């Protein structure tokens, strides 16, 4: 129960300091509104935040190894902090770069970009580069089985590493670093292709339903409602079961089935959005004016409706990509998605997951599965930051 006592003591001390902080602030600045109107909760928040900061800094500077045994907690914490600071600095420099170099249009864009969005754009560009040029960057092939298996990451021969394989090899003997790079190509590439397909199908049907209305709209919308009534992952798993049997029968790669299935499931969400956006635009007077002129469907869609729909559609593309990407990663993690020998981050997490258990005494070993999972998370976070910024900009909310 001592930790409960500790907690009570800490909270009371924080409350006391918070009260003192506000009191001193009011007295010293002669009742400036900032201190005068500060609710107690806000003062408490400031002091608590400060304490957390002090605790984090002191933890950071603890020794890395005690009597030869590595303090894994400190090591991981340092990596996390260094990574965070590194990314922040990279994003800042990238935004600075974008603000000074480029056309007038891109420079204006970078000027208005918050740091999180800059970080997002940087990561997306990096991933795009890696996935396109994977073949040239990776030192070894993704399926190449080399002689040495289970080499520890870190490149330190004393710990079981090998400088030739900076991130080590897996239990079959494939180079993890190369597979991570090829994973970008496979996972990201497949996710992108699937999203494009979903967007194309869902978007056209959605717009069509918004413009034509009537029974077409009713039938499509009811069908979409039913398809959306089954949770996406569950439905995907169900259909993948069926697909895996067919795949053996017909000899078609299961990955193709997966792309089609996820595209179909995802197109329902795109349909909903495209239909809503289309309906909002279709009731505008300028559409009525064009209709009354006698304009045809093609002109209406491409010249009047689509140009006004780009902002929400673009944001939705980002969101859909994240969803598809995560679904594919999850399916692969469960073993039902992208099949070996293709390198894929989800599968890599599954294969390497037991190494986490060694983290306490050999932190380096645990990095492999965390890197693969982290690669997935990083891209999704980046895309979400960018989409968040786009939505904030276009809604113009005084948020």
Partner 1 sequence: MTQQLLKIRGLKIEGKSDEVWTPIVNGIDLDLQKGEVLGLIGESGAGKSTVGLAAMGFTRDGCRISGGTVDFDGVDLVAASAAVKRNMLGKRIAYVAQSAAASFNPAHRLIDQHTEAPTQHKIRAKAESALDGMELYRRLRLPDPDNIGFRYPHQVSGGQLQRAMTAMAMSCRPDLIVFDEPTTALDVTTQIEVLAAIRDIVEQFDTAAIYITHDLAVVAQMADRIKVLLRGDEVEEAETRAMLAAPREDYTKSLWAVRSFQRPAKPAISAGSTPIVSLKNVSAAYGKSPVLFDVAFDIHAGRTVAVVGESGSGKSTTARCITGLLPPSEGYIEFNGEALPLDYRKRSKDQLRQVQMIYQMADTALNPRSSIGDIIGRPVQFYSGLTGSAKRKRVEELLAQIELEPGQYIDRLPSELSGGQKQRIGIARALAAEPQFVICDEVTSALDQLVAEGILKLLAQLQDDLGLSYMFITHDLATVRAISDEVVVMKDGKVVEQGPKAEMFQPPHHPYTDLLLSSVPEMDPDWLTNLLNGRGVDNIGDAAVGKM
Partner 2 sequence: MGSIFQIILQRLALGILTLLIVSIVIFVAVNALPGDFAQAILGQGATDEAVAQIRADLGLDQNYFMRYFFWLGNVLTGDLGISFAQMNFASNMGGDQLVGVVEQIAPRFKATMFLAGVTAMFAVPISITLGVLAALYRNSIFDRAVNVTTLSSISSPEFFVAYTLILVLAVLNPIFPSLSNVYEGMAWGEKLNRTMLPALTLTLVVTAHMMRMTRAAIINLLASPYIEMARLKGINPMRVIVRHALPNALAPIINVIALNLAYLITGVVVVEVVFVYPGIGQLFVDSVKIRDIPVVQACCLIFAAAYILLNLMADILSILSNPRLRHPK
Q: Which does 45 bind (CB under 5 to 8 A by kind): partner 1, partner 2, none?
A: partner 2
Place of tokens 């190509």: 185
CB of 372 to partner 2, least distance (A): 9
Q: In the chain, which ranges are continuous DSSP H helix?
A: 2-28, 33-36, 40-60, 72-100, 104-112, 115-132, 134-137, 176-183, 189-212, 214-228, 232-250, 254-282, 285-293, 297-299, 306-334, 345-352, 363-395
Task: Provide the mask over 379-398, with x wherever binding to partner 2 is found by CB under 8 A and - wherever it is not.
Answer: -xx-xxx--x----------
- Cα 167 from Cα 180, distance rounded (Å): 10
Contact 313, 341 (CB under 8 A): no
Contact 164, 178 (CB under 8 A): no
CB of 24 to partner 1, least distance (A): 18
Residues that bind partner 1 (CB under 8 A): 31, 36-37, 284-286, 288-289, 291-295, 303-304, 307-308, 398
If one asks whether residue 72 binds partner 2 (CB under 8 A), the answer comes out as yes
If one asks whether residue 271 binds partner 2 (CB under 8 A), the answer comes out as no
CB of 308 to partner 1, least distance (A): 6
Instruction: List the one residue out of 264, 283, 265, 285 whose CA is nearest residue 275.
Output: 283
Q: Which is nearer to partner 1, 63 or 296 (CB)?
A: 296
Q: What is the distance between the terminal CA atoms of the chain, rounded to a whole angstrom? A: 44
Q: Which is nearer to partner 2, 26 or 330 (CB)?
A: 330
Contacts of partner 2 in 30-49 (CB under 8 A): 42, 45, 49
Q: Which does 381 bind (CB under 5 to 8 A by kind): partner 2, partner 1, none?
A: partner 2
Contact 291, 282 (CB under 8 A): no
Q: Which is nearer to partner 1, 162 or 295 (CB)?
A: 295
Could you give the angle at the alpha carbon of 379 between the alpha carbons of 373 and 382, nearest 5°? 135
CB of 224 to partner 1, least distance (A): 25
If one asks whether residue 65 binds partner 2 (CB under 8 A), the answer comes out as no
Q: Which does 32 bind (CB under 5 to 8 A by kind): partner 2, partner 1, none?
A: none
- Per this entry, what is the length of the chain? 399
381: Cβ contacts below 8 Å, ≥ 6 apart? 120, 123
Q: Which is nearer to partner 1, 137 or 311 (CB)?
A: 311
Q: How many residues bind partner 2 (CB under 8 A)?
A: 57
Contacts of partner 2 in 186-245 (CB under 8 A): 225-227, 229-235, 237-242, 244-245
3-state secondary structure at position 169: strand
Q: Which does 246 bind (CB under 5 to 8 A by kind): partner 1, partner 2, none?
A: partner 2
369, 371, 376, 380 alpha-carbon torsion, rounded to 10°: 140
The region, left, alpha or beta by phi > 0 then psi within -120 to 50, assigned to residue 155 is left
Q: Which does 1 bind (CB under 5 to 8 A by kind): partner 2, partner 1, none?
A: none
- DSSP class of residue 101 equals S
> For the purposes of burial, counting CB atoms within 10 Å of the CB of 396, is it exposed (0-12), middle (13-18) or buried (19 or more)?
exposed
Q: Which does 209 bind (CB under 5 to 8 A by kind): partner 1, partner 2, none?
A: none
Q: Which does 307 bind (CB under 5 to 8 A by kind): partner 2, partner 1, none?
A: partner 1
- Cα 142 from Cα 180, distance rounded (Å): 9
Taking CB under 8 A as the criterion, the residue among 50, 88, 356, 390 binding partner 2 is 356
CB of 385 to partner 1, least distance (A): 19
Q: Which is nearer to partner 2, 240 or 343 (CB)?
A: 240
Crossing angle, helix 115-132 and helix 363-395, to 10 degrees?
Answer: 120
CB of 223 to partner 1, least distance (A): 24
CB of 133 to partner 2, least distance (A): 25
Contact 89, 109 (CB under 8 A): no
Binding site residues, partner 2, CB under 8 A: 42, 45, 49, 72-73, 76, 116, 225-227, 229-235, 237-242, 244-246, 248-249, 322, 326, 329-330, 333-336, 346, 349, 353, 356-357, 359-360, 366, 369-370, 373-374, 376-377, 380-381, 383-385, 388, 399
């Amino acid at each position: 129960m001592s930790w409960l006592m500790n907690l009570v003591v800490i909270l009371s001390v924080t409350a006391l300091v918070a009260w003192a902080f506000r009191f001193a602030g009011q007295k010293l600045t002669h009742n400036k509104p900032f201190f005068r109107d500060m609710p107690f909760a806000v003062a408490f928040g400031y002091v608590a935040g400060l304490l957390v900061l002090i605790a984090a800094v002191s933890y950071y500077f603890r020794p890395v190894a005690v009597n030869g045994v590595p303090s894994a907690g400190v090591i991981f914490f340092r990596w996390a902090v260094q990574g965070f600071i590194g990314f922040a600095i990279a994003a800042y420099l990238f935004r600075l770069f974008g603000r000074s170099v480029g056309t007038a249009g891109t420079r204006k864009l970078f000027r208005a970009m918050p740091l999180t969005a800059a970080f997002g754009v940087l990561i997306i560009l990096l991933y795009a580069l890696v996935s396109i040029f994977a073949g040239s960057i990776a030192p070894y092939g993704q399926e190449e089985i080399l002689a040495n298996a289970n080499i520890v990451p870190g490149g330190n021969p004393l710990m079981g590493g090998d400088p030739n394989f900076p991130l080590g090899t897996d239990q079959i003997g494939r180079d993890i670093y190369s597979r991570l790079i090829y994973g970008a190509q496979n996972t990201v590439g497949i996710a992108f292709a699937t999203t494009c397909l979903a967007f194309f199908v869902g978007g056209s049907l959605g717009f069509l339903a918004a413009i034509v209305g009537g029974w077409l709209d009713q039938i499509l919308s009811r069908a979409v409602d039913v398809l959306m009534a089954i949770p996406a992952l569950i439905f995907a798993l169900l259909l993948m079961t069926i697909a895996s049997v067919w795949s053996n029968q017909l000899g078609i790669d299961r990955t193709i089935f997966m792309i089609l299935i996820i595209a179909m499931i995802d197109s329902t969400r795109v349909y909903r959005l495209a239909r809503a956006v289309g309906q909002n635009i279709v009731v505008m007077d300028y559409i009525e004016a064009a209709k009354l002129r006698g304009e045809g469907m093609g002109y209406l869609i491409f010249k009047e409706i689509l140009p006004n729909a780009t902002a929400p559609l673009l944001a939705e593309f980002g969101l859909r990509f994240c969803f598809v990407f995560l679904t594919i990663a999850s399916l692969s993690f469960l073993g039902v998605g992208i099949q070996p020998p293709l390198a894929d981050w989800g599968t890599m997490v599954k294969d390497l997951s037991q190494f986490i258990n060694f983290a306490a005494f050999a932190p380096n070993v645990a990095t492999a599965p965390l890197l693969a999972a982290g690669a997935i998370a990083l891209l999704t976070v980046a895309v979400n930051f960018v989409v968040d910024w786009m939505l904030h900009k276009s809604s113009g909310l005084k948020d």
